[in-house]
Amino acid sequence: MNNSNMSRNDLNFELVQTKAVSAPSFKINGITVHSVYDPVSEAQKWAAQVTDRINSEGIPDKILIFGFGAGYHVKALTDLLKKDEKKIKIEVIEPTKESFEFIKNNFDVAELQSNSNINTIITVLNSVSENQYLDVSAVSQKFELDKGVILFCELPSYKKIFPEEYTLIHKLHGINQFFTPSSFKVLVVQPMYGGSSTIGNYLYSALLNLGYDAKILDFSKFYDAYKYMGEFTPNEDHVNSLKQSLVNLMSEALLSSVFNEPPDLVIFMAQSPATERTMIKLRSMGIKTAYWFVEDFRTFTYWNTIVKNVDYFFTIQKDDFFAELKNIGADNYHYLPLACLPNFHKKITEINEEDRIKYGSDVSFAGAGYYNRINVFAQLVDFNFKIWGSDWYVGLPLSLLIQDGGKRFTEEEAVKIYNYSKININLHSSKWHWDINPNGDFLNPRVYEILACGGFQLVDRRRYMDGIFEDGKDLVVFDTVDDLRKKIKYYLANEEERLAIAAHGRETVVKNHTYERRVREMMNIILLGSYEQIKSKLETRKQNILELLKETEGNKELHDLIMQFSDKKSLSIRDMAERIKSGKGRLSKSEAMILMLWAIKTKLVKLEGL
């Protein structure tokens, strides 16, 4: 939820006369904003402290001030900077629209607003809570907290008046100043099979695109063995026991993979083979854990054993799901919807005629054959309709529409289907509804992927679509089967309108709903929630590198090798060993020693895991 238009109705304002008649102060909720003795003198002292910081720390790219107040301190600072001939961009945050309206109505701020050296920004930052996930990303982007050196300072009284808003801005500034993605190690843990595995791949790609030191642990090779367990015995209890043993084995494999070089964060995708013991062990090692539950909580109910054992639990549903999570005492849950990967889900610009013939049609659907979909699509057999995917156990005439013998399609094929189909139907699955779920909430991956491919989409109505995509502008919503049939006929006959909607939908999704953006949202929540621990860890790494560089000044070989990692703000024996292995030529004595140390460490870790 973006709170830029939210308001506060709990603020009370009161003008206060000071001993300086021409410089009044005011109170917010009983707290005096400026000195009641001499606000101007107080402001000048504040500005002098800021300029002292500039002189000692260096000239920043920008000064960010939390709290506009009556503007005395801002004016004093601009006067000092002008006197010292320092032209530095200043951004001032007034936390609420209500407070700034009061200020404009009672104080002369025109001079400061018109000053070319100042950009006064009014931002509403309501109390930070679990379902306001977009605030952190929106704020970071709005104030460009990740660009350049920013000197952050505040109007002291505003720390007391707006403590939650101040803490958010202060931490976001700190994160963007000390944190770089390349210094943060992330491990994505995949399930053996299923849609969440695909989403995990996209998440991993987005992490790499953003510069994270990311790795992925793919358990898909175990899936054949998992299915094969049923061949040993017809006893269902025995089969389940065997399958659980395999899951335990994979969990141990996960622990083995992190022992050598612990990541900072492990992200589990839904249905990842992770036992309670594994998650507890990771947390005991100081590794942050997150779980992205990209499933319907009503269908898959194992979430109640997962959420208690991870640091951060991300969901694609809120409302009813949040109520259930709250009921079991959880407080670590956050709403994080799905997205698209623009460098993969994209519009095909060069038409391949062979692909167009194979994947193209007037109407298409790509997905599994759930009960409700079978019932709906049986009423669309008179259209030029192609159905792609598995689990379509149907008879005539619907079976004639199933493509490739009902085989699973690849993600690359999905992109072709979305591109070459005139109309892409997106009917969310349901095991309990005859046709269309009238109370559907979350948006499935197909919503975002079809749009990113530039495809035209007819989708069943979903509660979470409001405020995200606009019906008739980004995509088109249907409520009943009759409504769906009418809209298929209409948009097949109105190509220009169909293409315009598809184009606008693509622009919307690529701008606002990418996996890169979801990674930023996820990481902001994690970094804010674990601010002190992560900051301390990363600063210690950086300090260690600086100390190593100083200590190795007399050993050029080792010093030059360590210098290669100064920009990453982190260093490990494994990093150096891998860099050495990727090189060419004869090993130096230092390089040989590091490889030997790495080999010894690896063997010791394996012995500890026995």
For residue 362, give the H/E element and its range. strand 361-366
- The residue-averaged pLDDT of 92-111 equals 86
Categorize the per-residue pLDDT at 190 as very low, low, confident or very high, splitting at 50, 70 and 90: very high
Compute φ and ψ for 382, nearest 5 degrees: -85, -5
How is domain 353-513 classified at the CATH fold level? Rossmann fold (3.40.50)
Q: Where are the alpha helices (DSSP H) in 87-194?
A: 97-106, 110-114, 134-142, 156-161, 163-178
Answer yes or no: is pLDDT of 372 > 60: yes
pLDDT top residue among 607 and 104:
104
CA distance 2 to 136: 9
pLDDT at residue 239, as a whole number:
81
Find out whether the peptide bond into 397 is cis, omega within 30 degrees of 0: yes
- Lowest mean pLDDT, pick from 118-132, 270-284, 385-399: 118-132
| pLDDT the model gives residue 141 | 76
pLDDT higher at 109 or 511: 511
Q: Which residue has tokens 């591109």?
A: 419
pLDDT value of residue 291? 96
Q: Assess whether pLDDT exceeds 70 at residue 162.
A: yes
CATH no. for 181-335:
3.40.50.2300
Report the alpha-carbon distance of residue 376 to residue 389 in Å, rounded.
16
Residue 542 has pLDDT above 80, yes or no: no
**Concatenated DSSP letters for 248-276?**
HHHHHHHHHHHHSS--SEEEEETT----H
Dist CA 228 CA 57 (whole Å): 64
Every domain range in the chain assigned CATH 3.40.50.2000: 353-513
Residue 134 has a pLDDT of: 41
SS3 18: coil
Q: pTM (2 decimals)? A: 0.82
426/377 Cα distance (integer angstroms):
11
Q: Nearest 10 degrees: CA dihedral of 433, 434, 435, 436?
A: -30
Mean local confidence (pLDDT), 521-532:
92
Banded pLDDT at 385 (limits 50, 70, 90): very high
How large a percentage of the chain has pLDDT more than 90?
Answer: 59
Report the alpha-carbon angle 599-603-609, nearest 5.
145
What does the block give as tokens for 320?
A: 């009813």
Domain ranges in the chain with CATH number 3.40.50.2300: 181-335
Contact call for residues 480 and 375 (beta carbons, < 8 A): no
| Largest interatomic CA distance in the chain | 91
Among 205, 240, 245, 198, residue whose Cα is nearest residue 222: 245
pLDDT at position 117: 56
The yes-or-no verdict on residue 30 having pLDDT over 60 is yes
pLDDT at 433: 92
Identify the weakest region by mean pLDDT among 181-190, 226-235, 288-297: 226-235
pLDDT digits (tens, 9 = 90+) for 489-512: 999 999 999 999 999 999 999 999
> Cβ distance 187 to 265 under 8 Å?
yes
pLDDT range class, residue 26, cuts 50, 70, 90: very high
**In whole numbers, what is the pLDDT of the chain averaged over residues?**
87
Contacts of 164 (CB under 8 A, 6+ apart): 125, 127, 128
Whether the pLDDT of residue 396 is over 50: the answer is: yes
Residues 6+ apart with CB under 8 A from 586: none
The residues, ordered by sequence, that sit 6+ positions from 536 with a Cβ below 8 Å of its Cβ are none
Strand, coil or helix: what is 335?
A: strand
CA angle, corner 252, sides to 246 and 256, nearest 5? 140
Token digits of residue 381:
């057999």
pLDDT in the model for residue 551: 65
β pairing state of 31-32 and 25-28: antiparallel
User: Does pLDDT of 40 surpass 70?
Assistant: yes
Per-residue pLDDT at 121: 54
pLDDT of residue 561: 72
Q: Which residue has the higher pLDDT, 121 or 466?
A: 466
pLDDT at 257: 86
Residue 389 contacts residue 408 (beta carbons within 8 Å): yes
- The answer to whether residues 109 and 29 touch, using CB atoms and an 8 Å cutoff, is no
Region of 108 on the Ramachandran plot (φ > 0 left; ψ -120 to 50 alpha; else beta)? beta
Indicate whether 543 pLDDT > 60: no
User: How confident is the model at residue 41, as a pLDDT?
Assistant: 96
Alpha-carbon Rg for the chain, nearest whole angstrom, is 29
User: Mean pLDDT across the stretch 254-275?
Assistant: 89
**Average pLDDT estimate for 366-377:** 96
Question: H/E/C letters for each residue in 25-91?
Answer: EEEECCEECCCCCCHHHHHHHHHHHHHHHHHHHCCCCEEEEECCCCCHHHHHHHHHHHHCCCCCEEE
Asked if 437 and 372 count as a contact pair (C-beta separation under 8 A), the reply is yes
- What is the pLDDT, as a whole number, of residue 6? 44
pLDDT at 4: 39
Specify the higher pLDDT residue, 128 or 216.
216
**pLDDT for position 133:** 39
Average pLDDT over residues 121-131: 43
Which band of pLDDT confidence, cut at 50, 70 and 90, is reported for residue 550?
A: low
For the record, the structure tokens of 212 come out as 């994270």
pLDDT in tens, 412-462: 999 999 999 999 999 999 988 999 999 999 999 999 999 999 999 999 999
